[in-house]
Structure 1
Amino acid sequence: MTDTTLPYDIEQAVRERYEAGARQPQASLCCPTDGYDSRYLEILPQEIIEKDYGCGDPTRYVNPGETVVDLGSGAGKNCYILAQKVGATGKIIGVDMNDEMLGLSRKYLLPMSEKLGYENVSFVKGKIQDLALNLDSVQQWLEQHPIHSVEQVAAFEAECDRLRQSQPLIASDSVDVVISNCVLNLVRPQDKKQLFQEIFRVLKRGGRAVISDIVCDEPPTEKILNDPELWSGCIAGAFLENEFLEMFEQAGFYGIEILARQTEPWQVVDGVEFRSLTVQAFKGKQGECLERNQAVIYRGPWKSVQDDDGHTLYRGERMAVCDKTFQIYTHPNGAYHSEIIAIEPYEEVPYESATAFPCVGDTIRDPRQTKGANYRMTTDSDDCCSSSQSCC
């Protein structure tokens, strides 16, 4: 979606709709979500549950001890669920730009910490497409430096840049998981590329994004796009289903996977179907390629598969890969682990002596490279089969 000439202010429409949603529950706002684990809902204030507006449950994919950022945290439901899941060693940061929603979520910080027995949640004011800029700090500066001239506008912009650099709202490479629940579609079309870049920036290497959002099966019509109620209602800004996944790929993610997809559409408008989709994507394929004599075997069931970097794995074949790709394929919490058999070299190649691996084309790894050219071992099968732990 690239149209930036809509006859209304998207951010104002969204702000006003969610301000109203913070004051009074709005059943029609976004897609009702079932399936949350009831154990995590028991201690949540009823007001937070009533004023939650989402379309999925990304919280189920978060693990104990992780640091999590929730984009568009709203009333705080997902954050307070995650506070229980990650435990005292984890950390939850909710990001929202709506003062009404921030006031609602922050109101329960102390009561919830008392119930939990620890404090691991904070709510900060910022735009999810600009996670470096703390809008509370910006507001404080504006109160001391009101703008009355073009020169003062320049000073304001310089201060914003300084804050991004010296006091970022969310630091680069600092987060294990970024989640969001039906919020990315509310961002202006011209800001969506930056939005995905920001998600990528704040994640640690090996971190992941788990995003639930509304997608559509064909482009929204002009009638849909020109209706501010449909934008703030999570319709007009919906991603095309295939383009949603492509946005992750373009930002540098790998292992992009659809975790959940609503079978029946949530809404149909002008013949366009809108439904919820939950996607997971990983950060960490960047970096140099080193030869350490590793190989991987794709288990199947497909005859062959291709990864995000164009590597083709053929079922049952020992495929040569660089160390970086080997680590990505075999990480126990990664996207590929269950599909891959790891073949380690018999003698480890130290990183300091590893040479560059030519990550161009697909090469079958000769077993001699894995075992070593001087490998001449002979084993006695009788010894194996006569033992108490038979291998026959």
Structure 2
Amino acid sequence: MTQAQPQEMKVNSDLEREVLERYKSGAKAVQPSLCCPTSYDNNYLEILPQEIIDKDYGCGDPTRYVNAGEVVVDLGSGAGKNCYIIAQKVGESGKVIGVDFNDEMLSLSRKYQDAIAEKLGYKNTEFVKGKIQDLSLNLDRVQEWLRAHPIASVEEISGFEATCDRLRREEPLIPDDSVDVVVSNCVLNLVRSQDKKQLFREIYRVLKRGGRAVISDIVCDENPTEEMMNDPELWSGCISGAFREDEFLAMFEEAGFYGVEILTRQVEPWQAIDGIEFRSLTVRAYKGKDGPCLDRNQAVIYKGPWKQVMDDDGHILYRGQRMAVCDKTFQLYGDRHGPYHEDIIPISPYQEIPLEEAKEFDCLRNSVRNPKLTKGADYRVTTDNDGDSCCSPSGCC
């Protein structure tokens, strides 16, 4: 493994320090330059203190894509505005966990918890300290340990690292497969470039199968210059760490997500620097396409309007054709909470094949499913409509 050079380490340290200090200031006084103008449903803002509204810094509204009863994690929760909006949407049976690294922002978001809970009639919010690229490590617990075991020598660092590993393993901040939705509002770009792949893996890890990520962030149409990348002020201002638009979507796919979709894209750029345009983008992506491929004689018909489409596993669907799919893909396409069901007609077999009897399906092969396989080889039904025309008043038309 290549070790970082001293100059590179200094730059990374400067960037993290600038981000931390700028958002500390943003918790104390309003910083208009940190946000991209965004409109929210005023019905959800009525119970929020003006301080939280004023000191919220975002570039989109991922809160509109959550539902009642869901468990939601907000990465980089800041003043808590998004969390308190979501708290109203998920209701008493749901839960919202805000994750932030900044003590000033955490204090601000926690300041109004009881007051807002009293207005709602229930308390379903929690704000925890952690780095969004390491959702296993509870930094409040780390600080408790450090107060009891201050590090005074290099040798004692190994004990600290062992404690962090134990906390990740035994008391994870956000456990595996525990969350319905992960949201974030203009925070992922603040993570160092070398940590971004780990960040997406962490989002994937904490989501339940069938869960989804809804992320609003700043993207650019060209790569930022090296000078911009090393400018702490531009980094903390959501510029230098911006994802290139196409690479942002590719990061979800690389982490294992499927159904990656652009929900909103700012038409006019938020800022332009040296000809590079920066704008807000909101993306949704789903977890759950992993697993065995078993053949149960199922098929799907793609409605159109495209002549053909290809999904994240390479299945090509031809408009109007009965395409053979495995049971896993059949369930993904038919999930009414997923991204595909509105464009797909599912064709179930007349005689169900139990999973334990199903044979392996080759998902690398795109083939049309013969209707006889779906209906069954012995299907010989003949129907009599007793003279009724399909398009008569009592018919199917």
Which TM-score applies when normalising by structure 2?
0.96
Counterpart CA distance in 2 for 1:300 and 1:257 is 17
SS in 1 for 2:380: coil
1:24 aligned to 2:33? no
- Tell me, yes or no, if the aligned pair for 1:32 and 1:53 is still in contact at 8 Å: no
SS in 2 for 1:28: helix
The match for 1:65 is 69
The match for 2:282 is 278
The match for 1:103 is 107
The match for 1:214 is 218
For residue 30 of structure 1, report the CA deviation from its aligned partner. 2.8
1:315 aligned to 2:319? yes
Counterpart CA distance in 1 for 2:84 and 2:90 is 10
The match for 1:373 is 377
For residue 223 of structure 1, report the CA deviation from its aligned partner. 2.8
For residue 306 of structure 1, report the CA deviation from its aligned partner. 0.6
The match for 1:200 is 204
For residue 37 of structure 1, report the CA deviation from its aligned partner. 0.8
- In structure 2, runs of 5+ residues without a counterpart are none
The match for 1:9 is 14
Counterpart CA distance in 1 for 2:165 and 2:123 is 31
1:223 aligned to 2:219? no
1:260 aligned to 2:259? no
Would you say how many aligned residue pairs link Structure 1 and Structure 2?
Answer: 390
For residue 381 of structure 1, report the CA deviation from its aligned partner. 2.8
Deviates more, 1:137-146 or 1:149-158: 149-158
Aligned residue identity for 1:297: I
- Tell me, yes or no, if the aligned pair for 1:384 and 1:391 is still in contact at 8 Å: no
For residue 388 of structure 1, report the CA deviation from its aligned partner. 6.8
1:179 aligned to 2:183? yes
The match for 2:255 is 251
- Tell me, yes or no, if the aligned pair for 1:294 and 1:320 is still in contact at 8 Å: yes
Counterpart CA distance in 1 for 2:21 and 2:149 is 27
1:42 aligned to 2:56? no
The match for 1:163 is 167
SS in 1 for 2:105: helix
- Tell me, yes or no, if the aligned pair for 1:289 and 1:324 is still in contact at 8 Å: yes
Counterpart CA distance in 2 for 1:204 and 1:237 is 28
For residue 222 of structure 1, report the CA deviation from its aligned partner. 2.5
The match for 1:391 is 396
Counterpart CA distance in 1 for 2:27 and 2:396 is 65
Counterpart CA distance in 2 for 1:80 and 1:175 is 17
> Percent of aligned pairs with the same residue?
70
- In structure 1, runs of 5+ residues without a counterpart are none
SS in 2 for 1:382: coil
The RMSD of aligned alpha carbons is: 1.5
| Equivalent residue in structure 1 for 2:351, among 322, 347, 351 | 347
SS in 1 for 2:34: coil
Counterpart CA distance in 1 for 2:230 and 2:336 is 46
The match for 2:85 is 81
SS in 1 for 2:173: coil
Aligned residue identity for 1:374: D
1:190 aligned to 2:194? yes
The match for 2:97 is 93
Counterpart CA distance in 2 for 1:360 and 1:274 is 38
Q: Per the alignment, do residues 184 and 384 of structure 1 end up closer, same or farther by CA in structure 2, a change over 3 Å counting?
A: farther
Counterpart CA distance in 2 for 1:201 and 1:136 is 21
Cα deviation, 1:124-159, whole Å, max 9, x if unaligned, reads 000000000000000000111111222210110010
Cα deviation, 1:249-298, whole Å, max 9, x if unaligned, reads 00000000000000000000111100000000000000101111110000
For residue 52 of structure 1, report the CA deviation from its aligned partner. 0.3
- Tell me, yes or no, if the aligned pair for 1:215 and 1:276 is still in contact at 8 Å: yes
Counterpart CA distance in 1 for 2:155 and 2:320 is 66
Which TM-score applies when normalising by structure 1?
0.97
Counterpart CA distance in 2 for 1:241 and 1:382 is 60
SS in 2 for 1:297: strand
For residue 382 of structure 1, report the CA deviation from its aligned partner. 3.1
1:139 aligned to 2:143? yes
SS in 2 for 1:55: coil
Aligned residue identity for 1:206: G
The match for 1:33 is 38
Cα deviation, 1:342-373, whole Å, max 9, x if unaligned, reads 00111111112111111122010000110000
